Chains A and B, each alone.
Chain A
Amino acid sequence: DAMVIQNPRYQVTQFGKPVTLSCSQTLNHNVMYWYQQKSSQAPKLLFHYYDKDFNNEADTPDNFQSRRPNTSFCFLDIRSPGLGDAAMYLCATEPGLAGETQYFGPGTRLLVL
């Protein structure tokens, strides 16, 4: 009965080699978020989708892109990973109504060699 699923849980890539992380949800929520979290720091919002509307945070590097082909799936593409992109990437969803809770997936830990 998993609600927010992230694959893979661990991803190893090479410096500069494009990588895609995936997130799926069974909650039929309107909103999906991608966060980056480094070494026990607070999660940092990269971008989110409200339905098909994409919203990029002002300080999200151009190296990070996202796709949401349908309600259930959302992808994070890192075009040219650098060593500084090694982090935990968290996907979250919510219904989209004021005051609602965000539900997080288990995360994907990215290692860049």
Chain B
Amino acid sequence: AQSVAQPEDQVNVAEGNPLTVKCTYSVSGNPYLFWYVQYPNRGLQFLLKYITGDNLVKGSYGFEAEFNKSQTSFHLKKPSALVSDSALYFCAVRDVAGGYNKLIFGAGTRLAVHP
């Protein structure tokens, strides 16, 4: 069965410092991997995805993620954090079993960027 793990409930980082939000996955075949961000009382906003190709994926708002097949990881990164990046981040993997596309989400990681 497909699964996603986000090992950190919360990540704290100072503004201007690099940030990393971790994600590992388990799939039977090749993964489709996604990162979403959620601000308070809002829906999920798509940040980036990995389907195939270059292992380093660039997304919205300066975020990027690196697909590492040997470590089954897809960590989200940003070189310089902003206070406005503080939000809830979800990693997700695509489950295509049964012919339907179903997103399986991690539990989420709350990012707090301090001034």
Contacts and interface: CB of A to CB of B under 8 A. Distances in A.
B110 to A, nearest CB: 7
Nearest to A94: B101
B14 interface: no
B32 A99 contact: yes
Given A40-B88, A55-B100, A101 B34 contact: yes
A105 B108 contact: no
B49 interface: yes
Determine which residue in A55, A94, A105, A106 has the highest number of CB atoms from chain B within 10 A of its CB, and name it: A106
B44 A90 contact: yes
B108 A42 contact: yes
B31 to A, nearest CB: 10
Size category, A interface? 20 to 34
Contact of A109 (B41, B49, B88, B94): B41
A42 B36 CA distance: 11
Interface string B34-48: 101000011111100
Contacts of B105: 42-43
Interface string A88-103: 1010101010111111
Interface string B98-115: 001111011110100000
Nearest to B88: A40
A99 B94 contact: yes
Contact of A31 (B32, B94, B101, B108): B101
B43 A45 contact: no
A40 B89 CA distance: 10
B49 A101 contact: yes
B44 A100 contact: no
Interface string B64-99: 000000000000000000000000101000101000
Given A99-B32, A104-B45, A105-B43, 13 more contacts: A31-B101, A40-B88, A42-B106, A42-B107, A45-B103, A94-B101, A98-B96, A99-B49, A101-B46, A103-B46, A104-B43, A104-B46, A109-B41
Interface of A: 4, 6, 31, 40-43, 45, 48, 50, 55, 88, 90, 92, 94, 96, 98-107, 109
